[in-house]
Every structure is written in C-alpha cells, then in structure tokens.
Amino acid sequence: VSRLILVLGDQLTDDVAALKAADKTSDVVVMAEVAEEGSYVPHHPKKIALILAAMRKFAARLRKDGWTVDYSELDDTENSQSICGELLRRAEQHGASEVIATRPGEYRLIAALEDCPLKVTLLEDDRFIASHKEFEEWAEGRKALRMEYFYRDMRRKTGLMMEGDTPAGDKWNYDHDNRKPAPDDVDFGGPMQFAPDETVEAVLDLVERRFGNHFGDLRPFWFATDQGQARRALAHFVKHALPKFGDFQDAMLAENRFLYHAVVGLYINIGLLDPLEVCQAVEQAWKDGDAPINAAEGFIRQIIGWREYVRGIYFHEGPDYPRRNGLNHQRKLPEFYWGGETNMRCISKAVEQTGAEAYAHHIQRLMVTGNFALLAGLDPAEVSEWYLAVYADAFEWVEAPNVVGMSLFADGGVIASKPYVSSGAYINRMSDYCKGCHYKVSVKTGEGACPFNLLYWHFLDRHRDRFSNNARMGNMYRTWDRMDADRRETVLREAEAFLERMSAGAVV
C-alpha cells in the first residue's frame, strides 16, 4: 500500500525530510496549489507566482526523476482548495491512509495537518543548521536569549570562517565596519533576473486572474523559479555584490532598491538554495581573497546567526508568539502601507518598491516601515499581517520573530534588548530619502517637522515605565528630561495631532 508524501510550497528540494524518507517505487508525492494558502493573508502576486511556478517546476523535475507525483493545480475542478482536503482526496484515490510530511514552518498549518483525519507523520524539517533539540539545549537555563552567543555556537558547529577554535581574524563580529551611509553611486546592477519561460507565463496568467486584486505588481516578473537559476543568482551576487555587502549593509537609497543585497532569502526559504551552500560560497570568496572579512562574516552571520536564531525563537516561544502585543499598541495600520498617499518620502519609497518588487532590504523593513509602526503604536497583528503578505520571502517562522520581536518589541524583549526606535536623524544619515521630502528632517517641532522626530519622543514618553530603567536607554531619557517643559509639551501635542490626523485618514 502506498503512502502519501506531502511536499509543501516552501519545501522544494530533494533534501526535504519527507522525500528523504520516501520510497520512489511505491509512495506517491502530493503537491497542491490551494486557495487557502494563497489567500489567508493577501499575499503579493509576485510571491504567489514565485511559489506556484517553483512548485510546478519542482514537480516536473521529480516526475523526470521517476517519482509518481499527484499535483493539484489551483484551477482543477476537483481541487478541494485545502491541504487536508487534497490529502483526503488523494488518499481515497490510492487507497492510502498514511501521510509523511515535513513539519511546516507555521503553527496554523501544523494544526491543520494534525487535525486532518489521516495518519500524518510530521518529520522535523532538517534543512537548518540547528535542530530544535540543539536550540532548546542552548536556550535552557539562559536568562536572555541573545543571538550573538547562539551565532558563535553555529560558527563552531559549521566551522565557517573558523581557524580551529578561534574565529577568523580573531573577532567574531565585524558589524562595527558595516554601517557606512549610502554611497553616491552603486556599482552593482542588482540581482540576476530571469525572463519568464512557458511554465512561469502560465502561472502569471493564473495569478493575474485569481489574485490580481492583491497589493503589488505581478509584472515584470524576474525571480528565479528553480534550483539552477537560484544558484546562478547566488553566484552573481557573490561575484559582483558581496565585496561591498558589509560596508553598505545598512544604507538606503530612494532610487536603488537592492544596493549590495543578495536577494536570496526568498530562494532559501522555499528550498531552492540550501543555507549552508550559500554560506560556503561566501566563505570561499573570502578565502580566495575576493571579498573582505567584514562582508563575508556579516553575511554568514545573517544566515547561520539571525536566520537560525529567529527560527529557534519561533518554535521555542510557542503558538501565541505571533499574536503578542507587549506594549499594548492598538492603532490601525494606515492606508499608506498599502500604497495610499503619504508625505513621508522614506515610507512612500519603501512601500513603492515593496509593491513593485515584493522586496525591501533589512534596514528599510526595520528602520523605516518597522520603526514608524513602533513609534506610532500600530497594532502588531496588523503590522505582522502586512509583512507576511507583502514580501516574497515571508513565512511565519521567520517573519513573526522579525516583526513582532525585533521590530515592534511586542514580544516583551525576547529578541531585542531594547526597541529599535530612531528619530529622522538616523534615516537621514543612512539614506537619501530626506532630500526632497515634504518634511524637514532637521526641524523638530512646528511647520515641516519630520514626524519621526515628534513620534520618537512621544514613544519614549508614553513608555517611560517600561523603558526608563533600561541601561541602554538612559541617555535617551536624560536628553528628553533636559529639554524644557514647554518644548516637551509642544512635542507631545504635535505628535498627538499628527497621529489623530493620520488615523482620521488625512494625508500625512
């Protein structure tokens, strides 16, 4: 009797646990495009197209390799439009009662599989460097779960950029060198782009018909959709952008959407690239003298450090994690996150490129849209849903810790030791957004004052009880307290007025 082998849209590799456990001669691979997954949040059309196109190509590859694959296309009339529904349908067709699956990266889907009336075995997703057990052992008994210490263990475990027991160059972390402001010009033309082939075109037509009303542009579509293309995109990054990745990692430019970023997160997350393979390519470039140590270490830390760490946190903290609201922020997400008009040029540019590319790089997510959401007290659940919908690389296990934890401090400080908040000065230093903005970044109150300047103090003031004893925030509070009372009152009044206008739907 055959077993069903479930392969989900973000598990597109031969190395996924369920396939490794399967028997090609007797098992049936089940893959399904279902409306439920396409619409539980209004995913960006490019994100849906990426996943469906990569699924179709992966299924074709499996068939070519001799697997039996039952593939449900979204428009199949018999498609029940849910994962469990499709498993039940296939089980009946094949007289199968057992399903082998790789544990999904989202509590919602784990629950759906556990509740499915079939014998479903969930195997651990081992496409990661740290297993759940290793993370739990690391977390056990620690007061604070800081990424840096976890990262060092992952360096030791992988041996990446290690000389015996010591880190290359005798330093674990070169972040200090990675904070240069935006360069005048960027000598990298951006990630490798791929013209849609026949499979991709068919998917684009489908997505246009079914999800064309979602926020974001479907075309031009240029993402890699199979492993070979994704590897070429990686090699292109390593050769042409990696050398400056470190230096300009935190910089932002209004007219350059990618700077020296890799744009590989979306491929790693769905299985087209393996995280270790990506890090080894980067390490090799450093060994060959083609990339400086701050670039290679900085990049590898993002993957074996941050990426592994946030996954550990998501599963360590439990199913309530994505819904936490530690600062009790309730304000509704303003329309300008969905492309509505705003006078804040930094936000408008970050949202514009998000709509065009289903991509923004880390500092745009953290210090522009995330920073604003935190300062303005936006409801973390709404903000989190936005991030989950609009980025091609967004899956809950990685999105929620980054948004709810790192960016919004809504997890009560599990991930961040202090909130990532800044006034307009930081954005001005790291970008060219402020030139040409309706607001003036140097103006603190009154006509033309940058909203980030007002809201920054408003945030600190309204959360004084929570943060004034935080050693790393003492300076901020001392600066605020030194201002004269009149000025403080003006700042708070103007911040309130701004928030009220914003919530009333005025263009701010």
* Residues at the interface with ligand FAD (CB under 6 A): 261-265, 268-269, 299, 302-303, 306-307, 310, 361-362, 365-366, 370, 387, 391, 393-394, 398-399, 402-403, 406-407
Smallest separation, CB 158 to ligand FAD (Å): 15
Tell me the CA end-to-end span of the chain in Å, nearest whole number: 63
Strands 98-102 and 4-6: parallel
Residues in region 391-430 near ligand SF4 by CB under 6 A: 424, 427-428
Cα dihedral sign, 73-58-210-86: positive
Site string for ligand SF4, 449-468 (x = CB under 6 A): -xxx----------------
Name which of 235 and 507 has its Cβ closer to ligand FAD.
235
| CB 180 to ligand FAD: min, Å | 15
Q: Which of 242, 260, 239 is nearest to 251 (CA)?
A: 260
Token pair of 382 as six digits: 């709404």
Q: Which two tokens stand for residue 172?
A: 């674990």
Residue 90 vs 349, nearer CB to ligand FAD: 349
Give the CA angle between residues 489, 345, 459 to the nearest 5°: 30
Q: Which of 273, 295, 272, 271 is nearest to 285 (CA)?
A: 295
Q: How far is the CB of 476 from ligand FAD (least distance, A)?
A: 21
Q: Which of 16, 259, 437, 473 binds ligand SF4 (CB under 6 A)?
A: 437
CA-to-CA distance for 182 and 186, rounded, in angstroms? 9
The type of residue at 135 is: F
Give the footprint of ligand SF4 on residues 332-361 (CB under 6 A): 344-346
444's contact among ligand SF4, ligand FAD, none, with CB below 5 to 8 A by partner kind, is none
CA 224 to mean position of chain CA atoms: 18
Of the pair 286, 439, the CB lying nearest ligand SF4 is at 439
Nearer to ligand FAD, 283 or 399 (CB): 399
CB of 360 to ligand SF4, least distance (A): 15
433 contacts which partner out of ligand SF4, ligand FAD, none, CB within 5 to 8 A by kind?
ligand SF4
CB of 346 to ligand SF4, least distance (A): 3
Name residue 428's amino acid. Answer: N
Nearest Cα neighbor of 305 from 410, 103, 157 is 157
**Minimal distance in Å, beta carbon 269 to ligand FAD?**
5
Decide which of ligand SF4, ligand FAD, none touches 434; Cβ closer than 5 to 8 Å per partner kind: ligand SF4
Q: Is 434 in the site for ligand SF4 (CB under 6 A)?
A: yes
Total residues interacting with ligand SF4, rule: CB under 6 A? 14
Measuring CA to CA, which residue among 335, 486, 314, 348 is closest to residue 427?
A: 348
Exactly one of 439, 456, 457, 467 binds ligand SF4 (CB under 6 A); that residue is 439
Preceding amide of 334 cis, omega within 30: no
User: Between 275-287 and 227-240, two packed helices, what is the crossing angle to 10 degrees?
Assistant: 30
φ, ψ of residue 162 to 5 degrees: the values are -115, 145
Q: Which residues contact 240 (CB under 8 A, 6 or more apart)?
A: 188, 189
Task: Return the number of other C-beta atoms located less than 10 Å from residue 375's C-beta.
Answer: 24
Binders of ligand SF4 among 65-124, rule CB under 6 A? none
Measured distance CA(406)–CA(113) in Å, rounded? 29
Whole-number minimum distance, CB 27 to ligand FAD, in Å? 31
Rounded least distance, CB 300 to ligand FAD, Å:
9
CB-nearer residue toward ligand FAD: 30 or 154: 154
Whose Cβ is closer to ligand SF4: residue 414's or residue 455's?
Answer: 455
Polymer length of the chain: 508
Q: Among 260, 221, 264, 218, which Cα is nearest to 241's?
A: 260
Q: Which two tokens stand for residue 283?
A: 């390490």
- Binding test (CB under 6 A) with ligand SF4, winner from 135, 409, 433, 459: 433
Q: Which is nearer to ligand SF4, 50 or 437 (CB)?
A: 437
Q: How far is the CB of 343 from ligand SF4 (least distance, A)?
A: 7
**Can you tell me the distance from the alpha carbon of 401 to that of 414, in angstroms, rounded to the nearest whole number?**
9
| Residue 428 contact, options ligand SF4, ligand FAD, none, Cβ 5-8 Å cut-off depending on partner type | ligand SF4
d(CA 139, CA 144): 8
- Asked if residue 375 binds ligand SF4 (CB under 6 A), the reply is no
Q: Could you identify the residue written with the tokens 């989202």?
A: 106
- Asked if 42 touches ligand SF4 (CB under 6 A), the answer is no
The nearer residue to ligand FAD, 43 or 463, going by C-beta atoms, is: 43
Whether residue 111 contacts residue 89, with contact meaning beta carbons closer than 8 Å, is answered with no
By beta-carbon proximity to ligand SF4, the closer residue of 200 and 450 is 450
Which residues contact ligand SF4 by CB under 6 A?
344-346, 424, 427-428, 433-434, 437, 439, 441, 450-452
